[in-house]
Amino acid sequence: MAKVRIYQLAKELGMSNEELLEILDSMGVEYKSHASTLEDETAAAVKELIGEQRLAEEARKAEEARKAIPHRAPVVVIMGHVDHGKTSLLDYLRKSRIAEKEAGGITQHVGAFEVKTKGGTVVFIDTPGHEAFTSIRERGAKVADIAVIVVAADDGVMPQTREAIAHAKAAGAKLIFAANKMDLPQASLEKVYQGLMKEGIVPVAYGGEAEVLPISAKTGQGVQDLLETILITAELEDLRADPNAEATGVVLESRIDKQAGVLASLLVQQGTLKVGDYVVAGEHWGKIRAMTDSEGVRRNQTGPSTAVQVLGFSEPPSAGTAFEWVPDQVAAKEITEERRLEREAREVAPEVGRPRNIADLLRQMQGSEQKEINLILRADTQGSLEAIQQILSREQSEEVKINLLLAAVGAPSESDVLLASTANGAILSFGVTPAGSVKKMAEQKGVPLQSFRIIYELIDEVRKMVRGQREPVYKEEILGQAEVRAVFKLSSGVVAGCMVTSGKITRNADIRVLRKKQEIWKGKIHSLKRLKDDVREVAQGFECGILLEGFSDFQEGDVLEASQRVEVVQE
């Protein structure tokens, strides 16, 4: 057995002899001096222990560094079904903020505003809808930490509520539910609870984890409780950002003003953005010439979790595009030009890297750590939808989870494509046909979209997806045996002259050398010859010459057993 001296191991590990000797003492390893030798097993155990200690130390330092970074305000987006009170809640929050500050007038085009409370500041984003919200995430930027889903207590969970929940989850936001319109006599908190339960969301009142706050955006009832819950959720998330880092964030919106020029609203997520800085957003760049906060006040700089309107871009950057600080104009121009060329190359060959169908998506999934199948399900009727959902729930396993991002009646929409693109999912529809524009969008974004008229064909497709995500299980299949009849020492090596006594011997098979029925070696074939020719296989009853990779100690009477690994089909 190979051995290593202590001083050699210390050098390999980048530590002093004394440090290594202390570790050996703690492990109870006996030695005379740093020149003593260690068995392979002991050396491996030392390496493992030191590796674990170093990882733990690195993790401790990383955590210390993270805790040295200051906390930041949570960024919140408000979503929900039409007419359930999103705008009313935003308006109430804006008014309360103005009243508290005893100031009037806010800049409507910043796209965000702050609400200051005794417990801290909350930043609200006024997005145009959940599709735009998910679009931001699709471009690689997580814009909001928390999504408040507004549900009207007189109406309950509706189709757009489900879509909002799905988009918020895909965007990686924490969910808080606001049961609005509690001032109405027909309001029912229980109705909201029951609707959420049907979506698999268990409220705290029912022993779950989903916070559901009764509010009235009209009277302000419960809004303070909502703000406190947002701050508690943010505290649990331990949100931090480094104000000294290079400024990065996301473009909330942009427009062209006839007098000022291009105005862009930016949400700063890391670092500090200053007047005079150069920034790049997608294929556009700019030098910050002026900066205005949500109250219309000029700022020279702004830190994390703040939104500002800036002047300085030559062209409007797209909403949802991530922006970053760059050192100068030269870097800005070079980066944007590279991105433009990359986009043009993708447009010339749009199929590269994109899954064109569910089979392609499966191959992508198999190459990743993902063990969830993200699906959007559309059906012609509620009955069909429920039946398919029940069947799908039985198809998932402990290894593979079927995650229904959205299940709804009606044809697939462009919103569905956007959600599937963000979550790396597929769209399955039953009994309904997507519009041509939806099919085109799915093709452009590489989202597998498949329609079915027979329910069992849909289920078969899902079963294929589940099987594709499971860890493969293999069994060994014996191909054949050959008996060594003679041993030849040639310039190429020691060759076993054999007779195939059963089955066949193949060139790519695994080989066991059996002597008196005991395995003495296992490996691969280097060459397989029939007479003087290289062959792929030799069948029973024929002679052959076998040269193995790494074994030459043949004896007459040895048996060479060929086998292969075969994947077991899992039901």
Using DSSP, state whether 50 is helix, strand or coil. Answer: helix
d(CA 133, CA 15): 51
Is 167 known to sit in a ligand binding site? Answer: no
- Tokens linked to 549: 């990779």
Phi, psi of 291 (to 5 degrees): -145, 130
d(CA 213, CA 478): 64
d(CA 504, CA 478): 9
Is 81 known to sit in a ligand binding site? Answer: yes
Is 180 known to sit in a ligand binding site? Answer: yes
Q: What is the torsional sign of CA 51, 52, 57, 58?
A: positive
DSSP for 473-498, written as a single string:
EEEEEEEEEEEEEEEEEETTEEEEEE
Element (H, E) at 284: strand 284-292
d(CA 160, CA 163): 5
Is 85 known to sit in a ligand binding site? Answer: yes
Give every CB contact of residue 537 below 8 A, 6+ residues apart in sequence: 504, 505, 506, 507, 528
- Tokens linked to 409: 């009646």
Is 130 known to sit in a ligand binding site? Answer: yes
How many Å from the N-terminal Cα to the C-terminal Cα in the chain?
A: 45
Is 4 known to sit in a ligand binding site? Answer: no
DSSP for 447-460, written as a single string:
--EEEESSHHHHHH
Is 82 known to sit in a ligand binding site? Answer: yes
Altogether, the residues listed in the chain come to a count of: 571
Is 129 known to sit in a ligand binding site? Answer: yes
Is 25 known to sit in a ligand binding site? Answer: no
**Starting from the edge strand earliest in sequence, which strands make up the sheet with 174-180, in order?**
112-117, 120-125, 75-80, 146-152, 174-180, 212-214
Is 86 known to sit in a ligand binding site? Answer: yes
Is 242 known to sit in a ligand binding site? Answer: no
Is 127 known to sit in a ligand binding site? Answer: yes
d(CA 511, CA 499): 15
- Is 524 in contact with 481 (CB distance < 8 Å)? no
Look at phi and psi of residue 230 and say left if phi exceeds 0, alpha if psi is from -120 to 50, else beta. Answer: alpha
- Known binding-site residues for GTP equal 80-87, 126-130, 180-183
- Known binding-site residues equal 80-87, 126-130, 180-183
